[in-house]
Amino acid sequence: MASILRVNTLTDASSNNSTAMSTINQGTAKAWINFDGTASGAAARGSFNLASMTDSGTGLYVCNLTNAFANTNDCAATSSASASTSGSDNRNISTTITSASAIDSRVSNAASGAVLDTSVNYVSAHGDLA
């Protein structure tokens, strides 16, 4: 049965590590994704608040959220791509929130700038949900 805790602050049993609920709310990621950019259509391995993924082209991916953000300004996304240390695998990923319910990522070779599909990519997003 669902229940509701109405509290302003959480602390541990010794009343230490006091944390306001506003901090917990604002400090909690609203979405995270671990996805395979080489899979057909791009495929999430693990995720939270992800409805679907879109493969928009080589090195271009969209994470479509189940619950949207309030807008595109009051939120932030971070990302990382995975690779080896060899020059051809020198990956760089850039990410932005293009709509309240979509996170766009672009993966490229950091040296040449050429877009390319990458096996392991990570995205995390914070902010206010709608």
Partner 1 sequence: MTRAAELAKIIGKGSVAIHGEAGTTSSGSTGKTTNLQQGLIKQWAKIDGQAATIDDSFNVSSVSDTAVGKKQLVATNVMSNANYSVTSTTFFNSSIDAGMHPFIETTFSTSEFRINALEYNSSDAGDCDSHFTQSTGDLA
User: Interface with partner 1 by CB under 8 A: which residues?
Assistant: 1-6, 10, 12, 21-22, 24-30, 32-34, 45-49, 67, 70, 78-88, 90-92, 110-111, 119-120, 122-124, 128-130
As measured in angstroms, the least distance from the Cβ of 32 to partner 1 is 4
CB of 128 to partner 1, least distance (A): 6
State how far the Cα of 35 lies from the Cα of 118, in Å rounded to an integer.
Answer: 9
Q: Is 58 or 88 the residue whose CB approaches partner 1 more closely? A: 88
Give the nearest distance from C-beta 74 to partner 1 in angstroms.
9
Task: Name residue 123's amino acid.
Answer: V
* Nearest to partner 1 of 55, 81 (CB atom): 81
Handedness of CA 130, 33, 29, 13 (dihedral sign): positive
Work out how close the CB of 59 gets to partner 1 at its nearest, in angstroms, rounded to a whole number.
14
Are the CB atoms for 104 and 95 separated by under 8 Å?
Answer: yes
Q: Which is nearer to partner 1, 41 or 74 (CB)?
A: 74
Q: Of 36, 3, 32, give the one whose Cα is nearest residue 120.
A: 36
3-state secondary structure of 62: strand
Alpha-carbon span 33 to 44, nearest angstrom: 7
